[in-house]
Amino acid sequence: MGHSRRRRVEEVIAHEVLLLAVLLTVALVQTTLLPRPFDMPFNLLLLLTICHGLIAGTTSAARWAFYGGLALDLCALTLLGLHALALLAGVIAAAQALLRLSRDNWLVPVAGVALGSLVYHVVYAVLSMLLVAPVDVQEYGLYVLLPDTLVATIPSLPVYLVFRWYDDRVRQRVPVDVL
């Protein structure tokens, strides 16, 4: 019987606040500490949320994307919700498109991050054009979308394997009837 009790509201709120604090820290690291070779920032939050979504599923990934997107909006001083909506679209598109593939397939994270990054940048560019300022689509695609997608795709397999290893370890400690 041991693990069949439901979590109290305080535990759920504490877990969500902790997740928000961790994602805010990641957003701060991404916007301030990570190097920017050729003035191109590394989109760490996108990589982490897509890899998490491929492991944990769309619902959990949507929470990560929403919290992380709002944190990124606050840290980057952009219009509130701009990164959140783009990150949500990218994560949900990648997780849903690759939902039926095996977790053991090593092409899943590479394809997922490439697809998620593409959707993220398209949604971000469209929202920026509608809400902020006109965007030159050709320059955005050549100087932002393509390099950021390539840079995010390179470490996708190791990050995915770390998430999968951690998820397997957690599943081994918790009885199956709880999950």
Q: What pLDDT score was predicted for residue 23?
A: 93
The ranges of the chain with pLDDT < 50 are: 1-2, 176-179
Report how far residue 45's alpha carbon sits from residue 104's, in angstroms, rounded to the nearest whole number: 23
pLDDT of residue 3: 54
pLDDT of residue 39: 74
Q: 66-98 burial string, b = 16+ CB within 10 Å, else e?
A: bbbbbbbbebeebeeebbbbbbbbbbbbbbeeb
Sequence-distant (6+) residues with CB within 8 A of 66 are 84, 87, 88
Helix (H) or strand (E) holding 120: helix 107-131
**DSSP class of residue 6?**
P
CB distance 104 to 143 below 8 Å: no
Cβ neighbors of 42 (< 8 A, separation 6 or more) are 30, 34, 35, 36, 151, 152
Structure tokens given for 86: 């783009």
Q: What angle do CA 96, 18, 104 make, to 5 degrees?
A: 35
Report the Cα–Cα distance between both ends of the chain, in Å, rounded: 14
Q: What is the pLDDT of residue 31?
A: 87
What pLDDT is recorded for position 35? 78
Q: Which two tokens stand for residue 122?
A: 């398209």
**pLDDT for 174:** 58
Please give the pLDDT value at position 179.
46
pLDDT of residue 175: 57
Residue whose token pair is 């928000």: 20
Helix (H/G/I), strand (E/B), else coil: 101 = coil
Which residues have C-beta within 8 Å of that of residue 72, sequence separation ≥ 6? Answer: 27, 30, 31, 45, 78, 83, 84, 87
CA dihedral 78, 79, 83, 86 (to 10 degrees): -140
Tokens of 100: 């039926």
